[in-house]
Amino acid sequence: MSSGIALVANGFRGFARYLGGVMGADAYAKYLEHHSAAGHQEAPLSEREFWRDRTDRQDSNPQGRCC
């Protein structure tokens, strides 16, 4: 019984993670990953700075949405 609940919980978590990926919720984590992998010397942007920068860049690079 408890393993069944664990299975459902796991499935739900997986789905939430997937949905988060689709919506771009994991963008900061991916940025950090890239930052450390690329071996940058300077410190990475903080979470707040990163999201600020992300939406502000969209101001000057708009992406179309489909009809």
Partner 1 sequence: MAGVPDQRNNGSRAEDGLATDPNLPPPAVDEARLEAEDRKWTPAKIALWAAIALLGGVAWFMLAIVRGETVNAIWFVFASVCTYLIGYRFYSKVIERYITKPDDRRATPAEYKADGKDYVRTDRNVLFGHHFAAIAGAGPLVGPVIAAQMGYLPGTIWIIVGVVLAGAVQDYLVMFFSMRRGGRSLGQMAREELGVIGGTAALIATLLIMVIIVAILALVVVNALGESPWGVFSVGMTIPIALFMGVYLRYLRPGKVMEVSVIGFVLLMAAIIGGGAVAGTEWGAAFFHLDKVTIAWGLLIYGFVAAILPVWLLLAPRDYLSTFMKIGVIVMLALAIIVVRPEVSVPAFSEFASRENGPVLSGALFPFLFVTIACGALSGFHALISSGTTPKLVEKERQTRYIGYGGMLMESFVAIMALVAAISIDRGLYFAMNAPAALTGGTAEAAATWVNSLGLSGVNITPGLLRETAANVGEQSIVSRTGGAPTLAVGLAHIMHQFVGGTAMMGFWYHFAIMFEALFILTAVDAGTRVARFMLQDSIGNFVPKFKEASWRPGAWLCTAIMVAAWGAVLLMGVTDPLGGINTLFPLFGIANQLLAAIALAVVLAIVAKRGTFKYLWIVALPLAFAAVVTITASYQKIFSPVPAVGYFANNAAFSKALADGKTEFGTAKTVAAMEAVVRNTAIQGWLSVIFVVLSIIVIVTAVLATLKAFRDRAAGTATTDNEDPFVPSRVFAPAGLVPTTAERELAAEWEKVPADARLERAGH
Structure tokens at 17: 């993670």
Cβ-based nearer residue to partner 1, 1 or 66: 66
Query: Shortest Cβ distance from residue 26 to partner 1 (Å)?
Result: 9
Looking only at residues 34 through 63 of this chain, which bind partner 1 when binding is defined by CB under 8 A?
34-35, 37-40, 47-48, 50-60, 62-63
- The helix/strand count (H/E) of the chain reads as 3, 0
Contact predicate 32/44, CB 8 Å: yes
What x/- string results for residues 1 through 40 when contact with partner 1 is judged by CB under 8 A?
---------------x-xxxxxxxx-xx-xxxxxx-xxxx
Nearest to 44, CA basis, from 56, 32, 52: 32
